[in-house]
């Protein structure tokens, strides 16, 4: 039996779940994997905070040195989140020869490769399966089972909070604010929920996914970003009537050796498997040249699913403890980033149009001048002096659409309220 001494930073949602799993599964892990995990130290921020009675008896401190400077601790688990303190903890732990496991996507999105190189240099492991899609084993699947394939596209619902909000608004007709409050109470939402609802958390995860899938380190500024704050019941109703669901999709698509990246509300046809993903569940749909379409589905946030991914990292780490491998250290590709002319999709655009003769005609003319055709146009009953108009276009590039939007912004009597893309699959990109 091999004994490992563990230090955990944090005692919040994920760390609590992990400690409960390690206690409950202690004998199972001993029998099955011949390992004993000894929880030596927990470090928190606020020592005065009241903890659940099941954590009585743990060594809890607010001094990071109790873990980092204890030579007897083999494995550090960072579950506090954020970039600055967490980065110091991880770097110092790796420097002192400790293996590290984290769920911290904010940090790994930008520093993952650098930290993995440090881990390799120090002959220790660094794993972070829980950082993308919580309970779904997507990173290990991409780096192991799908390493042989050429991936053409990834579409992920990778933020549980925003998916929960959209599902609750649509199914129960509750307000955005009420749905967000429930997500916070359930422990899905980040400390600052702007990261969840503005697409930033999903973009961190897309950065990690793109690195694993396409060997490309991405900056967040290279991702076209949009969030869900402005989506209304009217949008949800429209989209449902048209046979779609709105999902905050994190997408990475290869088009003629160029990589297109976006996090944005996207219309997914009801028959597509991603449309059935509800509440805090996540899913990552991978289109591989050889494997076809695979969907990885499950809870993307929450105490036990996320903690289970951390526990799985622990077990994987100990299986190869003498030659620990970190995720994803060497893979790189020559893909370049897509330009506006390469970014092709059908769009769902909502307008507020003044009830005056000629305005609708002018609106149609703007699109036709750029050779953009309509798949569908809906004009609703007027409210006061204005009418809601929804246009769904045939596939068009950003280079075609951008001048149209500039013209509309200067025109009188027409205002763009929203623009959402329709999910586009690799074969449609090729045929467009
Ligand atoms: N919640 C989820 O569903 C998921 C979370 N994650 C990621 O997991 C990580 C943890 O998230 P979660 O458990 O939700 O976070 P919580 O906010 O629930 O808990 C954070 C914990 O970190 C502790 N902490 C904060 N700052 C410090 C510090 N400077 N030194 C020591 N301890 C500190 C807090 O201490 P105290 O208790 O004293 O306040 C608290 O116990 C994050 O990176 C998150 O993004 C990933 C996937 C899903
Ligand atoms: N806030 C995140 C938590 C998991 O990463 C989410 O809602 O998905």
Indicate whether 18 and 162 sit together in one domain.
Answer: no
Domain membership of residue 333 (yes or no) is no
Residue 324 has pLDDT above 90, yes or no: no
Q: How far apart are CA 292 and CA 392, in angstroms?
A: 28
Q: Are 416 and 351 a contacting pair, CB within 8 Å?
A: yes
Indicate whether 282 and 313 sit together in one domain.
Answer: no
Instruction: Kindly report the number of other CB atoms within 10 A of residue 34's CB atom.
Output: 10
Indicate the top mutation candidate among 196, 248, 282 to test ligand 2's pocket, ranked by most ligand atoms within 8 A of CB: 196
Residue 407 belongs to domain with CATH number: 3.30.70.260
Indicate whether 102 and 177 sit together in one domain.
Answer: no
For 201-217, what is each residue's pLDDT tens digit? 999 999 999 999 999 88
Mean pLDDT, rounded, for 186-214: 93
The whole-number pLDDT of residue 431 equals 44
The reply to whether ipTM tops 0.95 is: yes
DSSP 80-132: S-SSHHHHHHHHHHHHTT-EEEE--HHHHHHHHHHHHHHHHHTT--EE-GGGT
Residue 422 has pLDDT above 70, yes or no: yes
The whole-number pLDDT of residue 426 equals 59
Q: Is 98 a catalytic residue?
A: no
What is the pLDDT confidence band of residue 428, given thresholds at 50, 70 and 90?
Answer: low
Residue 390 belongs to domain spanning: 340-423
Residue 145 belongs to domain with CATH number: 3.30.360.10
300 lines ligand 2 (CB under 6 A): yes
Query: Any known ligand binding at 190?
Result: yes
Indicate whether 144 and 282 sit together in one domain.
Answer: yes
Indicate whether 245 and 267 sit together in one domain.
Answer: yes
What is the longest distance spanned by two Cα atoms in the chain?
Answer: 82
189 or 91, higher pLDDT: 91
User: What distance in angstroms lies between residue 196's CA and the mean position of ligand 2's atoms?
Assistant: 7
Q: 40-66 b/e with 16+ CB inside 10 Å = b? A: bbbbbeeeeeeeeeeeeeeebeeebeb
Name the 3-class secondary structure at 330: coil
Residue 432 has pLDDT above 60, yes or no: no
The ligand whose atoms approach the alpha carbon of 106 most closely is 1
Burial degree of 323 (CB within 10 A; 0-12, 13-18, 19+): exposed
Q: What is the mean pLDDT of the chain?
A: 94
Start-to-end Cα distance in the chain? 59
58: left (phi over 0), alpha (psi -120 to 50) or beta: beta
Indicate whether 154 and 232 sit together in one domain.
Answer: yes
Indicate whether 21 and 72 sit together in one domain.
Answer: yes
Determine phi and psi for 136, rounding to 5 degrees: -90, 130
Residue 429 has pLDDT above 80, yes or no: no
The ligand whose atoms approach the alpha carbon of 14 most closely is 1
Query: Any known ligand binding at 98?
Result: no
User: What distance in angstroms lies between residue 321's CA and the mean position of ligand 2's atoms?
Assistant: 30
Domain membership of residue 332 (yes or no) is no
164 lines ligand 2 (CB under 6 A): no
Indicate whether 52 and 81 sit together in one domain.
Answer: yes
Indicate whether 72 and 221 sit together in one domain.
Answer: no
Indicate whether 248 and 206 sit together in one domain.
Answer: yes
* Structural domain count of the chain: 3
Residue 384 has pLDDT above 70, yes or no: yes
For 265-323, what is each residue's pLDDT tens digit? 999 999 999 999 999 999 999 999 999 999 999 999 889 999 999 999 999 999 989 88
């Amino acid at each position: 039996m091999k004994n490992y001494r563990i230090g955990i930073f944090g005692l919040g949602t994920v760390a609590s779940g992990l400690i409960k799993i390690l206690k409950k599964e202690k004998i199972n892990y001993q029998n099955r994997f011949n390992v004993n995990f000894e929880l030596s130290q927990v470090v928190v921020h606020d020592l005065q905070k009241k903890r659940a009675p099941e954590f009585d008896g743990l060594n809890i401190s607010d001094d990071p040195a109790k873990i980092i400077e204890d030579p007897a601790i083999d494995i550090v688990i960072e579950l506090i989140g954020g970039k600055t303190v967490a980065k110091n903890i991880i770097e110092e732990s790796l420097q002192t020869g400790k293996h590290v496991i984290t769920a911290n996507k904010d940090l790994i999105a930008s520093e993952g490769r650098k930290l993995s190189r440090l881990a390799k240099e120090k002959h220790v492991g660094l794993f972070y399966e829980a950082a993308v899609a919580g309970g779904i084993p997507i990173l290990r699947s991409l780096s192991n089972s799908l390493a042989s394939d050429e991936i053409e596209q990834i579409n992920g619902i990778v933020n549980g909070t925003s998916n929960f909000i959209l599902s609750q608004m649509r199914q129960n007709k509750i307000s955005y604010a009420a749905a967000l409050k429930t997500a916070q109470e359930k422990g899905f939402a980040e400390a600052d929920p702007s990261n969840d609802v503005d697409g930033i958390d999903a973009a961190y995860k897309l950065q990690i996914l793109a690195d694993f899938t396409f060997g490309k380190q991405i900056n967040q500024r290279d991702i076209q970003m949009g969030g869900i704050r402005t989506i209304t019941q009217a949008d949800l109703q429209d989209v449902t009537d048209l046979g779609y669901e709105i999902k905050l999709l994190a997408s990475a698509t290869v088009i003629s050796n160029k990589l297109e990246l976006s996090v944005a509300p996207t219309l997914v046809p009801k028959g597509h498997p991603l449309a059935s993903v509800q509440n805090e569940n996540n899913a990552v749909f991978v289109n591989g040249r050889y494997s076809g379409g695979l969907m990885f589905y499950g809870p993307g946030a929450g105490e036990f699913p996320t903690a289970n991914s951390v526990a799985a990292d622990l077990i994987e780490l100990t299986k190869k403890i003498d030659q620990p491998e970190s995720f994803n250290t060497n893979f790189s590709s020559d893909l370049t980033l897509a330009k506006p002319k390469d970014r092709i999709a059908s769009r769902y655009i909502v307008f507020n149009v003044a009830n005056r003769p000629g305005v609708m005609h002018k609106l149609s003319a703007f699109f036709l001048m750029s050779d953009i055709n309509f798949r569908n146009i809906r004009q609703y009953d007027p409210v006061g002096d204005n009418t809601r108009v929804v246009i769904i276009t045939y596939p068009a590039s950003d280079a075609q659409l951008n001048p149209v939007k500039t013209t509309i912004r200067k025109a009188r009597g027409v205002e763009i309220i929203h623009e959402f893309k329709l999910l586009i699959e690799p074969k449609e990109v090729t045929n467009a």
